[in-house]
Amino acid sequence: MVIIKALNGKNPKIGENCFLAENATIIGDVTMGNDCSVWYSAVIRGDVHYIKIGNNTNIQDCAVIHATFQKSPTNIGSNVTIAHGAIVHGCTVQDNVMIGMNAVVLDDAVVESNSIIAAGSVVTKGTRVEGGSVYAGIPAKKVKSISQDLLEGEINRIAGAYGKYAGWYKE
């Protein structure tokens, strides 16, 4: 059964029509928009600062969303994919972003809209990811601009697909 736990007087607020896997964990000062999905073994831990998540965002299996005590909250926009095993920590991820599998986004980084963080990449503390770009590597650097095909074919396709997949589990 999904763990939704209040902590220090803060209760997670979950929007409408969200899918929460049976072993997902959502704790404390977390606000999640509508039509989101939180998949198996994902953890969203709002114990040391707030975490805000927009609409139609999917947080896939084993991803971890956290923040830094009294310093760096986590803000995640709408239509965002946070892939399997990714870590998003004390940063801002704007709308229409894909964070690849096992990627890490660290404190005070800003990932601007319409961007992709490649699988396995590390966006270091305080980095600003230019909107409309693909960043890859350790540390992550811009490798190319996003074409309309890549925007539609990856970012929007995957975000939309996870809404469909979540529907399978609600039936």
14-59 tens-digit pLDDT: 999 999 999 999 999 999 999 999 999 999 999 999 999 999 999 9
Beta bridge partners of 5: 27
Residue appearing with tokens 């979950």: 14
The count of domains in the chain is 1
Tell me the pLDDT tens digit for each residue of 74-99.
999 999 999 999 999 999 999 999 99
b/e code 32-69 from CB counts within 10 Å (16+ = b): bbebbbbbebbbbbbbbbebbbbbbbbbbbbbbbbbbe
* Closest-CA residue to 58 (of 13, 20, 6): 20
148: domain CATH number? 2.160.10.10
Residue 38: domain span: 3-170
Is pLDDT at 171 greater than 80 in this prediction? no
